[in-house]
């Protein structure tokens, strides 16, 4: 299949989900009949740009026109404009990531969480879903500034941003809540259902994490689940990491791999792999907690027939490696480690 045909197929697949696409990337717009209307390709409020949601009168779903500028095209063109100064390859990767939001295949009984959430957990999960739903795409926001300052370019629909999220600073929640901007990351199970929302509170004056106790907080249920980033291709390999920034640092160097961030070493050791995975690369910290979590995972997964390999940073963590060594050097280091361990696995 040639590149032109591949892009055409991808465009058609995205057009089949035109309204979801619009709500994801142009949340400031609104539906008017068979069209989604927004101000311009940057996503500003307004009505100058119209996106057709369903095929009608011989015209394809997903086609759009900006009546103020005369620009027009399909949803791949529009996504390219929305993302800003990125390459076509990055735009196609983002489109595939968007399509990867479809529910995963049915989960085998052995990998399911045997205990359904209780009433209290159910309420927290509902709140997490509501919180993530009100978030906006991270591009052009303080959340993107935070990640890009760390050298991270691997983003995706699992991330959103909100300029004002309630924040309780006291342990007993007796003080009135304040608000702060936050990077939001959705936690999902193997069926693609949201079970939680991680919040990374940010400081607008520095672009970094807010100077508060525990700027990283979780709402909902994380046990066995993860924040997921798909490459857009069906793969049998999966990279599973601890912190979000570390996992995305590995993903920045290896954009062709699927990722799952478990946020902590403890939850890394509890992760339930999705069906179809044949090999898992554990991107862990080089400390006792990381080693223990890795060993726990190896013992469990290898008993299920899933091969495992370790990815260990040269410096303190993978984000340190990314910023100090650069994306290309980190990529060479990771691929070298993978190649060496793949040979060891084959010899067993």
Q: Can you state the percent helix, strand and coil of the chain, rounding each to 5?
A: 35, 20, 40
Q: Are residues 58 and 195 in the same domain?
A: no
Which pLDDT score, from 0 to 100, does residue 113 have?
45
Residues 175 and 296 occupy one common structural domain: yes
Q: Give the other-Cβ count within 10 Å of 312's Cβ.
A: 18
Does residue 53 sit in the same domain as residue 192? no
pLDDT digits (tens, 9 = 90+) for 169-199: 544 444 556 788 999 999 999 888 899 999 9
Q: Each residue of 2-16: pLDDT tens digit?
A: 444 478 888 888 998
pLDDT at 147: 96
Is residue 139 domain-shared with residue 281, that is, in the same domain? yes
Q: How many domains does the chain have?
A: 2
34 three-state secondary structure:
coil
> Domain holding 236: CATH number?
3.40.1360.10
If asked whether residues 58 and 88 sit together in one domain, one would say yes
Statement to judge: residues 13 and 125 lie in one domain: no
pLDDT beneath 70: ranges in the chain: 1-5, 84-86, 100-120, 168-177, 232-234, 343-348
What pLDDT score does 118 carry? 55
Scanning the chain, the segments in alpha helix (DSSP H) are: 3-15, 18-25, 75-83, 88-99, 119-133, 142-149, 244-253, 265-268, 288-303, 318-325, 327-347
pTM of the full structure:
0.66
- Residues 86, 172, single domain; the answer is no
pLDDT on residue 313: 94
* 130 & 177 share domain: yes
Instruction: Give the residue numbers spanning the domain of 285.
Output: 106-348
């Amino acid at each position: 299949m040639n590149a032109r045909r591949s892009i055409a197929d991808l465009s058609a697949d995205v057009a089949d989900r035109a309204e979801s696409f619009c709500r994801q990337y142009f949340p400031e717009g609104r539906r008017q009949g068979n069209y989604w209307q927004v101000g311009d390709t940057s996503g500003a409020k307004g009505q100058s740009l119209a996106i057709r949601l369903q095929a009608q009168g011989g015209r394809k779903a997903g086609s759009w026109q900006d009546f103020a500028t005369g620009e027009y095209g399909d949803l791949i063109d529009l996504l390219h404009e929305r993302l800003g100064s990125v390459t076509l390859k990055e735009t196609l990767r983002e489109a595939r990531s968007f399509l990867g939001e479809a529910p995963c295949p049915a989960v085998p009984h052995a990998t399911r969480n045997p205990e359904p959430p209780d009433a209290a957990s159910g309420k927290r999960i509902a709140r997490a879903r509501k919180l993530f739903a009100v978030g906006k795409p991270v591009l052009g926001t303080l959340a993107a500034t935070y990640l890009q300052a760390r050298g991270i370019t691997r983003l995706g629909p699992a991330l959103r941003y909100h300029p004002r999220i309630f924040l309780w600073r006291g342990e007993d929640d007796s003080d009135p809540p304040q608000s702060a901007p936050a990077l939001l990351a959705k936690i999902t199970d193997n069926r693609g259902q949201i079970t939680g929302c991680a919040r990374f509170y940010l400081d607008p004056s520095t672009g970094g994490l807010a100077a508060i106790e525990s700027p990283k907080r979780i709402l909902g249920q994380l046990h066995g689940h993860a924040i997921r980033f798909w490459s857009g291709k069906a793969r049998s390999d999966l990279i599973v990491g601890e912190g979000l920034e570390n996992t995305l640092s590995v993903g920045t160097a290896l954009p062709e791999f699927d990722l799952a961030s478990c946020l902590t070493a403890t939850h890394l050791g509890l992760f339930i792999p999705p069906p179809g995975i044949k090999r898992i690369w554990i991107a862990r910290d080089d400390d006792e907690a990381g080693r223990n979590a890795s060993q726990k995972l190896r013992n469990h997964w290898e008993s299920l027939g899933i091969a495992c390999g370790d990815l260990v940073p040269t410096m303190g963590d993978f984000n340190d490696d990314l910023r100090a060594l650069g994306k290309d050097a980190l990529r060479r280091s990771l691929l070298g480690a993978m190649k060496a361990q793949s040979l060891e696995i084959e010899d067993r």
